[in-house]
Amino acid sequence: MKNFLLILSVFAGISVFAQPRPMTLKDCMEYALEHSTDMTIQTADNADSRIDRRTAILSAFTPEISANSDAYYQFGRSVDPETNTYLVETAFHNNYEVQAGIELFNGFQAIDNIKIARTSVAMGKTAEQQLRDKICLAVMEAYYNAVYYSRLTDNLHSQVETAKNSLSLAERQEELGQKGHADVIQIKADLADREYQLVNTDNTRKDALLTLQSIMLWPVEDELIIDTDLCEVEQTLTDNYETGSLISKAIVMTPSALLAKGNLEIAKHQLHTAKWQLAPRLVLYGGVSTTYYTYPNNKNYVGPSFRQMLKDKVGEYIQLGLTIPIYSGLSRQAKISKGRNEVRRAEARYDKAVKDVESEVMRALNDREGAAAEYLLAERREDVQEEAFALNQRKFDLGMISPIEYRTAADNYIKAMADKVGAQLRLRLKTSVVNYYNGISYIDQL
């Protein structure tokens, strides 16, 4: 069977054992969002908010309808419903009623409840977006950290191979009398250091991948392969932002500020509702009722049939009720006072949220400018160190410099490459944060 599959794969031009495609940063974000338990909880909370909104609308514009029925025996003296005279008979009564009621006026509490419910639904969507952004940012940081150590591991692996080739050359030169034994020992020590650095860095890379897997809720038994290629960042370096407009846009679009503003709106609606509790309440009721009765112990009593009596005893009514609150132990006044305090707290929280957003935007802009300057210097430094290492490599092969000098040049080149990769990733991250405050979510930037 396996041979048959291999033959088919040859003719189809595909490989049965093809490696899975490395996951990009966007792939990792989408996977994390799809499998996040926090997103599941937030989705359920949003569903509750929509149910509350529907309930508030139905309560305001639809009547409450109820039906009830009861049956009982009455013993001893009672009033005959037919003759309105007293009897000493055991009577059986069976009553039916359907009633509907609707509030005509309740101090606009129903309207305020609808506004509160609508604001809660909007806040739920904002909270969901805030959670999505939080997850995407955490994935981005972990992903870039894994990419950094993966690239550093690749660089160290190439340096180990170079060190092994240098050791082979040195041993051959020692046999020819061109190098001393001390130089060979020094090169072996350098190789051991390179191998140690490679193993240590590779362990850090694996730990970074585990952190990324944990954030994504990736299955522990499956291997996560990520795309470590980095494209150029010239476009990122040329992006310019106007501070004032960026701050203004962030205040009206950042989820933290929107949530604080929503809480303020809800507090104002709740205060309005508390004030209207001092107003009268007008309720309209209407209903239909009927009854059936008989005297089971009276053999001489012959009444109409069950169906006929229910039809004959049908009664309808309309009731208009007015409730005027007068005194309730100052509970309504206390609720109004607490509502005012909650509005003041919500205003203070909103002001703080706005200030926090302004500070975060300024910090993000400064961090991005610093990261851009750092990347330019790191790129220039890597070019210089690469050229210096190539020159020292040729000198070392010709025996013109000592192993210690060669080791120093190699270390400087490795550090320069690592610093460039780190600066490039930091610049990407800081630019993504600025674009986020500019109204573009993290996943939409990819």
What's the domain range around 378? 27-62+106-279+325-445
Mean predicted confidence (pLDDT) in 133-141: 94
Task: Specify if 12 maps to a domain.
Answer: no
205 or 300: which leads in pLDDT: 205
Task: Say yes or no to pLDDT of 310 above 80.
Answer: yes
Tens-place pLDDT, residues 397-439: 777 887 788 888 888 888 898 999 999 999 999 999 999 999 8
Q: How many CB atoms lie within 10 A of CB 29?
A: 24
Tens-place pLDDT, residues 168-210: 877 887 777 767 788 788 888 888 888 898 999 999 999 999 9
Q: What is the 3-state secondary structure (H, E, C) of the chain?
A: CHHHHHHHHHHHCCCCCCCCCCECHHHHHHHHHHHCHHHHHHHHHHHHHHHHHHHHHHHHHCCEEEEEEEEEEECCEEECCCCCCEEECCEEEEEEEEEEEEEEECCCHHHHHHHHHHHHHHHHHHHHHHHHHHHHHHHHHHHHHHHHHHHHHHHHHHHHHHHHHHHHHHHHHHHCCCCCHHHHHHHHHHHHHHHHHHHHHHHHHHHHHHHHHHHHCCCCCCCCCECCCCCCCHHHHHCCCCHHHHHHHHHHHCHHHHHHHHHHHHHHHHHHHHHHCCCCEEEEEEEEEEEEEECCCCCCCCCCCHHHHHHHCCEEEEEEEEECCCCCCCHHHHHHHHHHHHHHHHHHHHHHHHHHHHHHHHHHHHHHHHHHHHHHHHHHHHHHHHHHHHHHHHHHHCCCCCHHHHHHHHHHHHHHHHHHHHHHHHHHHHHHHHHHHCCCCCHHHC
Task: Specify if 31 maps to a domain.
Answer: yes
Task: Specify if 81 maps to a domain.
Answer: no
Task: Specify if 318 maps to a domain.
Answer: no
This prediction has a pTM of 0.79
CA-to-CA distance for 176 and 156, rounded, in angstroms?
30
Number of domains the chain contains = 1
pLDDT bin (cut points 50, 70, 90) of residue 33 is very high
Residue 65 forms beta bridges with which residues?
100
Task: Specify if 80 maps to a domain.
Answer: no
Task: Specify if 37 maps to a domain.
Answer: yes
Find, among 426, 297, 444, the residue nearest to 367 by Cα: 426
The structure tokens listed for 342 are 């909650």
User: Residue 441's domain is classified under what CATH number?
Assistant: 1.20.1600.10
Task: Specify if 390 maps to a domain.
Answer: yes
Tens-place pLDDT, residues 188-198: 888 888 889 89
pLDDT bin (cut points 50, 70, 90) of residue 88 is confident
Tens-place pLDDT, residues 313-323: 899 989 888 88
Task: Specify if 414 maps to a domain.
Answer: yes
Find, among 241, 201, 229, the residue nearest to 424 by Cα: 229
Task: Say yes or no to pLDDT of 154 above 80.
Answer: yes
Write down the mean pLDDT value for the chain.
85
